């Protein structure tokens, strides 16, 4: 009897221990995924929050000091993030002490991957350069908590930005409807209009030609550059058109192809070769308009109007070509920034000879450029290591980082050193009264300890960027920004209505396949494109075989994945 009882007891004890271990494991798992704050205004939870937090929008954020550990890069130009002037200001303003988990900036991505995979991560990722796949992966795993309710209840500045900036919400909302990370919104007018073509206006004037407005006129101008000795040295050394895939939008074909059909392959590794028409995704590089664009580009190349080196040279080669002495030999350059070729000051006055060509009208009346506005990655995430109170404090701190006051102080440091409020009569880039004026650094040192240099989430709108004092003479040594914005004014009215939207999420289950197909398709299209342009393949004889070759590259699946992403746009 005793033996039977002992056996029964042992079995019961074993069951109880197993149950305890299971409950402990469940408790441990739950502890790493704190309950989401709901903003409920009743009960003990609300009372506790009222005792800890100030009213939303007021400071400090917490009534008693709170510590939150944050992951961020350590820039070599910043002396010490703990003693940094902006860190101290932020901690005093919010009553939140930052415990830094810093990594050298050039090792950030590797450390981030290891940290998230191992589970050894802090409560907040302040700056993680989180791509969309990472946001979805770690969001769905529960490592990153959804921010939707936190934003609704505690972040009025972030909420306003999402309402004001047309592309923001769709760019940060995952296919499951959750927001897992916050971006640095850095609106840049000339960046959005980056697909530019610069042309030698001094040569145009000498030859009595106007800035071209159509593809036919552009061809005639390049032909004149080649044949009529515009640099006046008696030599046939002029290079009508050049570029480099290594430069920002330096691809010689994209600017011109957009006069026939949308081409978003602007530089090495970029581009989808897709368009969206009435909500339907379509591949462009097998269309008749694409073929016509290739025929036009082949004509330019065949007649020596495109630099053969444009398909292989790097950005340094462009600079050497542009500054060749004694005579300028460069006619037109495809790139977002003419500063790739020249230093924008009186030391290199040749830059003043160049103006931007507006989007050209093609033979079928197509006249468009690309709009690069959008958000491709994010900076800030709250992890499941954060308590509910830390979650609220962290989102409120991020909300402060979206204010203009924070942006000024973290980028430029305290008022009076590198910036001051604009004086009466100081004009901004649009010729209106400026709000802020930057102070030139007469004794610039390699390091400083005054600010964060744009670490973390923030909001720099077009209006904010335009509010700084700017030279009215766009050809002055410090007038380059004004010049770029004036060019953008010419380009903005021609934004394509068929461009596939920037910054959309690809569903996590599709992301790997989409990346593989995109790379394979891109390599195939670009390789054939170069061969058609240079004439190593005959566009008329080999076109059908090229189009047929796309069938074996999973084009159907590619279109389905991107159609799904477009349909899930929030």
pLDDT tens digit string along 303-345? 999 999 999 999 999 999 999 999 999 999 999 999 999 988 8
What pLDDT does 169 receive? 92
Q: What's the gap between Cα 109 and its chain centre?
A: 16
Choose the weakest-confidence range: 9-13, 53-57, 167-171, 368-372: 9-13
Considering the chain, what is the average pLDDT of its residues?
90
pTM given for the model: 0.83
Residues 6+ apart with CB under 8 A from 426: 433, 434, 437, 469
pLDDT in tens, 161-186: 999 998 899 899 999 999 999 999 99
Q: What distance in Å separates the CA atoms of residue 369 and residue 373, rounded to the nearest whole number?
A: 12
What pLDDT does 266 receive? 83
Q: What distance in Å separates the CA atoms of residue 86 and residue 89, rounded to the nearest whole number?
A: 5
Q: What distance in Å separates the CA atoms of residue 570 and residue 568, rounded to the nearest whole number?
A: 6
Beta carbons of 478 and 346 less than 8 angstroms apart: no
Max CA pair span of the chain: 118
What pLDDT does 464 receive? 94
What does residue 211 show for φ and ψ, rounded to 5 degrees?
Answer: -60, 125
């Amino acid at each position: 009897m005793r033996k039977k009882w002992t056996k029964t007891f042992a079995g019961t004890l074993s069951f109880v221990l197993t149950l305890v271990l299971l409950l402990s494991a469940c408790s441990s798992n739950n502890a790493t995924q704190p309950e989401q704050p709901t903003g409920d205004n009743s009960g003990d939870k609300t009372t506790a929050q009222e005792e800890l937090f100030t009213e939303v929008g007021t400071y400090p954020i917490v009534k008693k000091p709170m510590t939150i550990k944050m992951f961020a890069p350590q820039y070599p130009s910043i002396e010490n993030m703990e003693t940094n002037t902006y860190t101290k200001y932020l901690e005093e303003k919010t009553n939140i002490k930052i415990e830094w988990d810093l990594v050298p900036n050039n090792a950030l991505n590797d450390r981030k991957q290891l940290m998230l995979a191992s589970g050894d991560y802090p409560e907040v990722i302040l700056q993680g350069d989180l791509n969309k796949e990472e946001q979805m992966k770690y969001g769905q795993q529960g490592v990153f908590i959804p921010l939707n309710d936190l934003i609704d209840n505690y972040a009025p500045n972030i909420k306003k930005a999402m309402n004001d900036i047309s592309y923001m919400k769709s760019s940060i909302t995952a296919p499951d409807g959750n927001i897992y990370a916050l971006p640095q919104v850095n609106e840049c007018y000339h960046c959005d209009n980056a697909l530019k073509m610069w042309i030698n206006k001094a040569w145009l004037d000498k030859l009595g030609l106007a800035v071209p407005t159509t593809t036919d006129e552009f061809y005639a101008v390049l032909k004149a550059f080649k044949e009529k000795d515009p640099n006046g040295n008696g030599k046939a050394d002029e290079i009508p058109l050049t570029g480099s895939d290594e430069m920002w939008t330096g691809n010689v074909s994209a600017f011109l192809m957009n006069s026939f059909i949308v081409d978003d392959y602007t530089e090495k590794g970029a581009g989808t070769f897709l368009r969206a028409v009435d909500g339907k995704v379509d591949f462009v590089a097998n269309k008749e308009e694409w073929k016509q664009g290739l025929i036009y580009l082949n004509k330019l190349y065949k007649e020596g109007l495109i630099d053969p080196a444009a398909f292989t040279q790097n950005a340094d080669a462009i600079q050497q070509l542009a500054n060749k002495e004694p005579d300028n030999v460069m006619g037109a350059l495809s790139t977002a920034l003419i500063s790739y070729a020249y230093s924008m000051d009186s030391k290199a006055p040749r830059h003043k000879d160049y103006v931007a060509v507006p989007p050209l009208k093609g033979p079928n009346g197509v006249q468009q450029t690309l709009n690069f506005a959008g958000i491709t990655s994010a900076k800030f995430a709250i992890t499941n290591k954060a308590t509910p109170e830390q979650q609220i404090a962290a989102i409120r701190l991020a909300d402060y980082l979206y204010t203009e006051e924070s942006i000024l102080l973290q980028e430029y440091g305290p008022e009076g050193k590198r910036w001051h409020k604009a004086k009466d009569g100081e004009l901004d880039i649009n010729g209106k009264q400026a709000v802020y004026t930057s102070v030139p650094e007469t004794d610039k040192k390699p390091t400083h300890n005054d600010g964060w240099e744009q670490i973390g989430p923030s909001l720099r709108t077009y209006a904010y960027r335009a509010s700084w004092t700017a030279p009215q003479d766009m050809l002055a040594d410090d007038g380059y920004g004004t010049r770029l914005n004036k060019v953008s004014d010419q380009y903005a009215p021609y934004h394509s209505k068929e461009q596939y939207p920037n910054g959309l999420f690809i569903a996590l289950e599709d992301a790997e396949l989409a990346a593989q197909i995109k790379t394979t398709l891109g390599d195939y299209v670009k390789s054939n494109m170069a061969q058609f342009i240079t004439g190593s393949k005959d566009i008329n004889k080999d076109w059908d075989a090229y189009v047929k070759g796309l069938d074996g590259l999973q084009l159907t699946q590619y279109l389905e994945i991107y159609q799904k992403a477009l349909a899930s746009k929030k």
